[in-house]
Amino acid sequence: MWVDTTLVFLALSSLLLLGSSRLSRCVRIVAFQGVLLGVLTMAVAQHDPSLRTIFFALAIVALKGVGFPWLLSRVLRESEVHREVDPLVGYIVSMLLGTLTLALSFWLSARLPLPAPPLSSLVVPVAFFTTLAGLFLIVTRRAALTQVLAYLVLENGIYVFGVGLVHGTPMVVELGILLDVFVAVFVMGIAIFHINREFDHIDTEQLTILRDWTP
Amino acid sequence: MYLLLVAIGILCLSGLVASAVGRSSRWATACGAGGVVVAALIGIVPSVAAVLGATPQSIRLAWSVPYGAFFVEVDALSGFFLVVIFTVCPIAAVWGSAYLLQHHGKKSLGPPWFFFNVLIASMALVVVARNGVLFLVAWEVMALASFFLVTFDDDDEGVRDAGWIYLVATHLGTAFLLVLFLLLGEHASSLDFDRFLASPERASVLFLLAVCGFGTKAGLLPFHVWLPEAHSAAPSHVSAVMSGVMIKIGIYGLIRMLTILGPPPAWWGWLLVAAGLSSGIYGVVFALAQHDLKRLLAYSSVENVGIIVLGLGVGVVGLDAGQPTVATLGFAGALLHILNHALFKGLLFLGVGAVAHSTGTRELDQLGGLLKRMPVTGAAFVVGAVAIAALPPLNGFVGEWLIYFAAFNGIAAPGRDTATAVLSAIGGLALIGGLVAAGFTKVFGIVFLGEPRSRSAERAAEPALVMRAAMLALAAGCVFVGCFAPVVVAALVPVVRVATGLPADAVAQHLGEASRLLRWFVAAAAALVATSVLILFLRRWLLSRRDVGAAPTWDCGYAAPTPRMQYTSSSFSQPLTELFTFLLQTRHRGSALKGLLPDPTALATAAPDLLADGMYRPLFDLLGRGLRSVRWVQHGRVHVYVLYIAITLLVLLVWKLG
């Protein structure tokens, strides 16, 4: 019950993210997703929440729900960019494609052979959808900040997959992944900050000169 | 076995330490060179034991890589190559320790020592690896380490280009090997060498893949183009290791594959004979036309690899014709020539390095008269030159003599085809031998005899003591193998047995026969040396009571000769290079002399590589033009790159699940 509700909220928030242009709102949605993940972690083990589950859920909420959003809104303030200007795919189209992706995810998940039945029939499609939505955002949005958010969404999808399918992943592994994500976001936040200071914009479209081959 | 792993460990560790203390040139050199010497002293013990026929020892450890296993084994064949590695490399390291210190303060010496030690460790690992994944990993480490060594002087554009050519060539070679191991592994459903099965229908494809892949590393025609570039760009001790040892690892791969692929059909032997002959003749002809000492030696390496492959070819022809004598002697000759070439080519590269170090140039036409200024280097160099020209009583003769002996044994074999193959081998080997003798007469004559052709040659002096010691050690190795040829040949029995797969007593019998004949040759050589010494004493005795006048060399009857009147490298080899105009296509620049009192004029000749210019450059240009049309794929927009990945993933998912 709790699990399904959280998963539905997660899918909806991803859809909402696809249709949002204000960056501060995007950050808030991703923060909400972080809190949802914490809830999901607890909900999966609702019968006997061990100390380690509680600790881990709190760590996720603290990092993904509070830490990253705080860091990113700071970058947002510094860079004085408020809206995603001129995305490569418009918001309405994005949401339409998002719905299509959701359908594709359900189709795929029905065919994916799994070693053990998942906790809920929603786990796999939502995990797929969140991952693909993250990828979609990375591809279509231009502001470097949105790309960091999109990366977080993608990672959230992977996490859902893991927590819903594999029961009792060693804590060390989970913490290790969390630490990885933390470092990644931290580095990206700093990088955006410096890119902004150097070039007065965070538009990734204009960073093409970094390719190997120049004509 | 464990000693060998300890040696490899010491090599890696000392390389790491050397790169960590790279800021201090002296410490880095001490760690790097010291590590190589200690590792070689430890590693040579199990290697020699394996060559002498100790039971093969193996270690198999699980490895998490799919199909991978840390499976290593030291049999006689591996041991033989380990002996080559652990003999030449420490000497080159000692030489390099003095050579690299000239960069003291200008360049960090950590990286070159790190890569040098890693190169040696990876070569040792390649020859003992018995798992495809392990083999390829070690093979790639070897290629990359040598690439970083080649590009040591990376502020020179020519060196960067050479490194680039080498990198492309070595990876193309590895591509063949990848397919080879995939096919072998698919058939055997394992990548361990002992599980590989000979499959007659596929063996020929596998053999061709092995010849292309390992031939690229060995510098076999037509895959040799990287060799002159890389060898002339690398520091000399690296060239010595690359030319003396690393390219032989390619030959090792070829021999190992021959042992895996089962009984060879006759055409494999003919292919090897043809490839060996063309490499040998092509290499020596281009060596004759070079003006740059290191390029010349590199072409000579192409020629020597040709001789080695020729020996293998004769051996394979013998195996197919059911002639154990021919097979045994052919393989033994090839193997012995591997050791010999490692010794004398290492020596020659170190000698050329000493000359370049002392005079600052590798141009033949800038040198001259160095024997008086660098007597020890000159003496060592002449030993190397005589050895490479396969003149008795040195080691070069022994290896080639075994191949001749094998080929002469094959003439009497039934079947016209065998006779044709071995007769062409004899003729080709004779031609190569003559041209090599001419080529190295030219090198020694132009560089060490006569008068200095430039100011820098005039000011040349002997290099540091350790450099001289290293060259003398290699020269001593050449003399040793030459003088103890019967013993050395007899000691090859276990190695040849593994390489040919023939029964031990047959191999021992045929090699024993060769060994007995070689005793006569050693006796003749001893007589020759004794006579020479006697004549020397006689001369001294005769001259002791007379006035001895000294006159300039290269007088040529002129009243006031200048060093510029001497033969140049091109004029010395011109009669021979004229014969091979169709191959060399030497470009002459300059005008002919006109009239009775001609104006000053200049002449320059150049012989660029025929295959590099005529085949590879057009091919790669065409490839580049063709691929330019898909360059828009790489536009620099990172999120579209992510799109590529996303689409690939989705398509794969839908395809696999749909």
Side-chain half-sphere exposure of B64, counting CA atoms within 13 A: 0
* A213 to B634: CB separation less than 8 angstroms, yes or no: yes
Residue of B634, B638, B642 with shortest CB distance to A135: B642
* A212 to B634: CB separation less than 8 angstroms, yes or no: yes
Hunting for tokens 């065998």 — which residue is that?
Answer: B418
Q: In sequence order, which residues have a C-beta less than 8 Å from that of residue B575 and are 6 or more positions away?
A: none
Residue of A140, A204, A213 with shortest CB distance to B638: A204
Size of interface A-B (CB pairs under 8 A): 45
In a shared domain, residues B282 and B255? no
Burial label for B552, CB within 10 Å (0-12, 13-18, 19+), is exposed
B71 by DSSP, 3-state: which? strand
Residue finishing a domain among B224, B240, B262: B262
In a shared domain, residues B528 and B637? no
How close A19 gets to chain B, by Cα (Å)?
A: 18
pTM of the model as a whole: 0.81
The bridge status of strand B69-74 relative to strand B57-62 is: antiparallel
In a shared domain, residues B295 and B207? no
Q: What is the ipTM of this complex?
A: 0.78
How close A108 gets to chain B, by Cα (Å)?
A: 7
Is B474 a member of any domain?
yes
In a shared domain, residues B122 and B224? yes
Token output for A176: 């290790």
Q: In sequence order, which residues have a C-beta less than 8 Å from that of residue B249 and are 6 or more positions away?
A: B81, B123, B126, B127, B142, B217
Contacts of B649 in chain A (CB under 8 A): 135
B117 by DSSP, 3-state: which? helix
Q: Are B392 and B482 in contact (CB under 8 A)?
A: yes
In a shared domain, residues B244 and B125? yes
Is B608 a member of any domain?
no
Is B589 a member of any domain?
no
Contacts of B627 in chain A (CB under 8 A): none
CA distance A155 to A133: 11
Mean pLDDT, residues B126-150: 93
In a shared domain, residues B421 and B536? yes
Mean pLDDT, residues B424-442: 92
Contacts of B652 in chain A (CB under 8 A): none
Is B553 a member of any domain?
no
In a shared domain, residues B126 and B193? yes
Residue B387 confidence (pLDDT):
93
Token output for B435: 């041209």
Mean pLDDT, residues B160-183: 92
CA distance B326 to B311: 10
How close A205 gets to chain B, by Cα (Å)?
A: 6
In a shared domain, residues B153 and B226? yes
In the stretch 68-107 of chain A, residues with CB closer than 8 A to chain B read 88, 104
In a shared domain, residues B235 and B278? no
Element (H, E) at B70: strand B69-74
Element (H, E) at B120: helix B110-128
Mean pLDDT, residues B469-489: 91
Element (H, E) at B130: none
In a shared domain, residues B283 and B144? no
Q: Which residue of B has its CA nearest to A87?
A: B639
User: Angle at CA A154, nearest 5°, toward A148 and A160?
Assistant: 135
Residue of A108, A140, A211 with shortest CB distance to B634: A211
In the stretch 109-148 of chain A, residues with CB closer than 8 A to chain B read 111-112, 132, 135-136, 138-142, 147
**Minimal CA–CA distance to B385: which of B462, B460, B439, B461?**
B439
In a shared domain, residues B69 and B143? yes
Q: Are A7 and A123 in contact (CB under 8 A)?
A: yes
Q: How many domains does chain B have?
A: 3
> B629 is in which domain, residue-wise?
613-657
**Minimal CA–CA distance to A87: which of A152, A15, A145, A143?**
A143
CA distance B254 to B243: 17
Residue B547 confidence (pLDDT):
85
Residue A199 confidence (pLDDT):
64
Band (pLDDT 50/70/90 cuts) for residue A110 is: confident
What does the domain layout of chain A look like in residue ranges? Answer: 2-210
Read off the pLDDT of residues B558-586 as tens digits, 9 standing for 90 and up. 777 777 778 888 888 888 888 888 888 77
For chain B, what's the residue count?
Answer: 658
Alpha helices in A19-116 (DSSP H): 23-44, 51-60, 68-79, 91-111
Residue B102 confidence (pLDDT):
82
The bridge status of strand B587-590 relative to strand B69-74 is: unpaired
Residue finishing a domain among B512, B540, B568: B540
Is B305 a member of any domain?
yes
Read off the pLDDT of residues B617-647 as tens digits, 9 standing for 90 and up. 889 899 989 988 888 787 777 777 888 888 8
CA distance B581 to B508: 46
Is B551 a member of any domain?
no
CA distance B41 to B94: 13
User: Angle at CA B384, nearest 5°, toward B380 and B385?
Assistant: 115
Q: Are A173 and A166 in contact (CB under 8 A)?
A: no
Read off the pLDDT of residues B278-317 as tens digits, 9 standing for 90 and up. 999 999 999 988 889 999 999 999 999 999 999 999 999 8
Mean pLDDT, residues A108-132: 85
How close B174 gets to chain A, by Cα (Å)?
A: 24
Residue B176 confidence (pLDDT):
94
Contacts of B646 in chain A (CB under 8 A): 132, 135-136, 139
Residue of B636, B642, B653 with shortest CB distance to A108: B653
Residue finishing a domain among B262, B289, B308: B262
DSSP string, B385-438: HHHHTT-TTSHHHHHHHHHHHHHHHHHTSSSHHHHHHHHHHHHHHHHHHHHHHH
Contacts of B636 in chain A (CB under 8 A): 207-211
